[in-house]
Amino acid sequence: MSNTNSLLTIKDLHASVEEKQIIKGLDLDIKPGEVHAIMGPNGAGKSTLGYVLSGRDGYSVESGSVTLDGEDLLEMETEERARAGLFLAFQYPVEIPGVSNLEFLKASVDAQREARGEEAISSADFLKEAKAACKQVNLPVAFLKRGVNEGFSGGEKKRNELMQMLLLKPKLCILDETDSGLDIDALQVVAEGVNSQRSADRSFIVVTHYQRLLDYIKPDFVHVLSDGKIVKSGDASLALELEAQGYSWLQKEPSEDELEG
Amino acid sequence: MSEWLESAITRAQGINDWLAPKRAHALDLLAKTKWPTRKTEAWRYTPLRPVERTPAKVIRDKVDLSPVVIADLSAIEVVFVNGQFDQAQLAKTLPAGLSIALGADLNAAQQADALTAFSTIKPERHIFGLINDALAQDVVVVSVAEGVEITQPVRISSLLSLGAESHTRVQVVLAAGSKLTVIEDIQAQGDSLNTAFVEYNIAANARLEHYRFALQTGSNVAVGGSHFNLHDHAKMNSTIVGFGSELSRLDTDIIHAGEFADAKLNAMYLLDGKELFDLHATVEHAMPNGKTEENVRCIVADRSRAVFNGRIHIHRDAQKTLAELNNRNLLLSDKAEINTKPELEIYADDVKCAHGATVAQIDKQALYYLQTRGVSRSKAQVMLNFGFINELIDLMPNAALAEWIRPIIRERFAQMEVK
């Protein structure tokens, strides 16, 4: 695979958490506008990939390289990665009582505007945008005044993640198990929101354990992650195959010592 | 005994006014009280060196100071400048049912009542309370008549010019079924020393909304107290905001003297540099069916030190009491210090009482979450610190005060971050 025109290029990535190796030689190349699904059994390293790419403390890269738009992603702080266009939608969004959702969203948008050399958006303009985004993800406007994710249901938290994505307009979105804990109606709302954001200059990594989400968000490519490596890649039909057969046929040796999925 | 105390006593002995019997009693007690040291439990973490060596002095010359303007707050102003009540800053006409006057100016009957009530709510164990009893030159009495609801808040400001010493005292009396909001505010310009004490008597079914802003910083010494007596079905809701200083000590006492009384106390303090803030909050449940909810939050940065002593005493007759005390602290630096001590003393057997105290560092997960959205680490820290305090600001019933204090606190957090 070539670097030219790629949005994200991961080469031979090895990464560990608390001295335990989770990612063991991962390669991935994503071009603008593409949607890549990463599937795999629990403990394969799916969530770890998102944390490593976003630069979470405690997740260390031992070798390999990652570039976003040709820039060395691994050299950047977490917030610089976000300003460079990386967005991680959390599987379990964090509750922050006392910080209003509106304040949080505006601080995020302003930080990214500042990085682009733009001025902070006026409160009135931002409120208009935020209200429109609320409407689009089907969250009552009152949620802007509440503490970040405070007391939100699982579905509301995922819609709040989606709202952040709408407002931040990232180049690369990593959706970490966005389907977990959602009923079918909530799943559809989130999927529609994601689909509305698909465009020629925005790419997605959809991390999921189940094929169900991919009925709604159609991937261009499907990769199977097992024991820290991509063991198989294909088109959308691979997901259906996995649904029918499970993951066991891909795992030569079961990973007994993995931390998380 | 400290040199300062000796000089204070000498000054007090020279005062002869309507409060003479009370002042003499306080001086008697002071003569028997040992000057607190590190071995004195109530002052263990709060050394009195700044008082012992303070050069602050009584300034008798007239100084023009006026309280800060708070947008959208139209308060009835009770202003003390360097300990002297400034009658000129009090409105000429007050709402019907509200009276505010110097104790010395009351008629004989009112003065006799005020004398009887003086220093009956504030416990005698507070040494600076006794000093205030003996030295407070202008004692102001605020009273609300039975059943009257005063919508305009009363703001009591203690203003100090550079290097000044002041001892202010207010008695607030809410008659049965009345309603009042009182804001206590201390503004000092440096190297000052003040004791500011207010006693509240809240009669049956009366409601008090209370604020105390102790935003003195730097080289000011502030030792004071707010003391509340609640009768049957009386309610109070108090918010305390404190910044530290060389020495800041606040004592609050809430006494459930009647049944079915309801007390809420939310206190927050934010310390930086080498500041110290010490809050001793005592709740006495002397009667049955009372309710207390206390939330105290503190953030300490740099080398600052916070002290919290939260005592809830449930007397043997105070059955069916509900009392909750929650103290959460956030440490922003390895060199900052928090000394917290919740004390529950329960002698009744049918009560619900809970307490918790935690000391934590900033939530790393929340910090990471904010960073993944592009917010810088330092800005994220400020937001999270602010959030920790903002939960209590959101509970302030007076919106104008909440809107006023929010940016002041935000600014303080931004300063804390620079270091």
Structure confidence at residue A248 as a pLDDT band (50, 70, 90): confident
Q: What is the mean pLDDT of residues B74-96?
A: 96
Which of B42-51, B162-171, B367-376 comes out lowest in average pLDDT?
B42-51
Structure confidence at residue B55 as a pLDDT band (50, 70, 90): low
CB contact under 8 A, B368 and A57: yes
Q: Which long-range contacts (CB under 8 A, 24 or more apart) does A124-132 make?
A: A126/A102, A127/A102, A129/A167, A130/A102, A130/A105, A130/A106, A130/A163, A130/A167
Looking at residue B180, its pLDDT comes to 98
- Joined tokens for residue B201: 């008597």
Residue A97 touches partner B, C-beta closer than 8 Å: yes
Phi, psi of A208 (to 5 degrees): -155, 155
Structure confidence at residue A185 as a pLDDT band (50, 70, 90): confident
pLDDT at B173 over 90: yes
State how far Cα A173 lies from the chain centre. 5
Closest residue in A to B393 (Cα–Cα): A98
Check if the beta carbon of residue B216 is closer than 8 Å to that of residue B244: no
pLDDT in tens, A1-33: 444 589 999 999 999 998 899 999 999 999 999
Tokens 């990471």 locate to: B368
Of A79, A90, A96, the CB nearest to B374: A79
Q: What is the mean pLDDT of residues A100-127?
A: 94
- Joined tokens for residue A236: 């959308």
Looking at residue A250, its pLDDT comes to 67
Tokens 């029918």 locate to: A244
Q: E strands within A101-246?
A: 147-148, 172-176, 203-208, 221-226, 229-234
pLDDT in tens, B240-295: 999 999 999 999 999 999 999 999 999 999 999 999 999 999 999 999 999 999 99
Of B364, B366, B375, the CB nearest to A111: B375
CB contact under 8 A, A98 and B364: no
Check if the beta carbon of residue B256 is closer than 8 Å to that of residue B227: no
Mean pLDDT of chain B: 94
Check if the beta carbon of residue B98 is closer than 8 Å to that of residue B150: yes
Q: What is the mean pLDDT of residues B209-230?
A: 95
Looking at residue B210, its pLDDT comes to 98
Mean pLDDT of chain A: 90
Paired with A86 in beta bridges are A172
Residue A120 touches partner B, C-beta closer than 8 Å: no
Tokens 């060395």 locate to: A72
Give B368's contacts in chain A (Cβ within 8 Å): 56-57, 78, 94
DSSP per-residue letters across B163-214: TBEEEEEEEEEE-TT-EEEEEEEEEE-SS-EEEEEEEEEE-TT-EEEEEEEE
Q: Is A45 helix (H, G, I), strand (E, B) or coil?
A: coil
DSSP per-residue letters across B274-297: T-EEEEEEEEEE-STT-EEEEEEE
Residue A150 touches partner B, C-beta closer than 8 Å: no
Give B380's contacts in chain A (Cβ within 8 Å): 79
Q: Residue A133: which H helix or E strand, with range?
A: helix A123-137
Looking at residue A261, its pLDDT comes to 42
Which of A99-103, A209-213, B287-291, B299-303 comes out lowest in average pLDDT?
A209-213
CB contact under 8 A, B387 and A99: yes
Q: Is A129 exposed, middle or buried (0-12, 13-18, 19+ CB in 10 A)?
A: middle
Check if the beta carbon of residue B295 is closer than 8 Å to that of residue B281: no
CATH entry 3.40.50.300 includes domain A8-250: yes
CB contact under 8 A, A107 and B383: yes
d(CA B155, CA B159): 12
CA angle A99, A103, A107 (to 5 degrees): 115
Give A90's contacts in chain B (Cβ within 8 Å): 369, 372
Phi, psi of B119 (to 5 degrees): 60, 35
State how far Cα B102 lies from the chain centre. 21
d(CA B365, CA A72): 25
Residue B285 corresponds to which amino acid? Answer: H
Of residues B132, B154, B125, the one with CA closest to residue B34: B125
Alpha carbon distances (Å) from B26 to A145, B82, B113, B135, B223: 51, 22, 19, 10, 17
Quote the percentage of chain A above a pLDDT of 90.
73
Closest residue in A to B364 (Cα–Cα): A57
Phi, psi of A158 (to 5 degrees): -65, -35
Q: Is B160 helix (H, G, I), strand (E, B) or coil?
A: strand
d(CA B391, CA B387): 6
Q: Which residues contact B301 (CB under 8 A, 6 or more apart)?
A: B271, B272, B273, B332, B333, B336, B416, B419
CB contact under 8 A, A107 and B377: no
Closest residue in A to B376 (Cα–Cα): A79
Of B368, B372, B379, the CB nearest to A107: B379
d(CA B343, CA B101): 38
Q: Is B55 exposed, middle or buried (0-12, 13-18, 19+ CB in 10 A)?
A: exposed
pLDDT at A66 over 80: yes
Looking at residue A4, its pLDDT comes to 56
Closest residue in B to A52 (Cα–Cα): B372
Looking at residue B211, its pLDDT comes to 98
Residue A56 touches partner B, C-beta closer than 8 Å: yes
Phi, psi of A24 (to 5 degrees): -130, 60
CB contact under 8 A, B375 and A78: no
DSSP per-residue letters across B216-279: --TT-EEEEEEEEEE-TT-EEEEEEEEE-BSEEEEEEEEEE-STT-EEEEEEEEEE-TT-EEEE
Q: Which residues contact B215 (CB under 8 A, 6 or more apart)?
A: B185, B186, B187, B241, B242, B243, B408
Tokens 């964090």 locate to: A94
d(CA B2, CA B153): 39
Quote the percentage of chain B above a pLDDT of 70.
98
Looking at residue B1, its pLDDT comes to 60
Cα R_g (chain A), whole angstroms: 18
Of B374, B390, B394, the CB nearest to A111: B374
Looking at residue B56, its pLDDT comes to 67
pLDDT in tens, A86-106: 999 999 999 998 899 999 999
pLDDT at A241 over 50: yes
Of residues B65, B57, B372, the one with CA closest to residue A148: B372
A32-46, A70-84, B33-47, B404-418: which has the highest mean pLDDT? A70-84
- Joined tokens for residue A169: 């307009």
Of B365, B368, B374, the CB nearest to A108: B374
Q: Which residue has the higher pLDDT, A155 or B143?
A: B143
Closest residue in B to A169 (Cα–Cα): B373
CB contact under 8 A, A83 and B374: yes
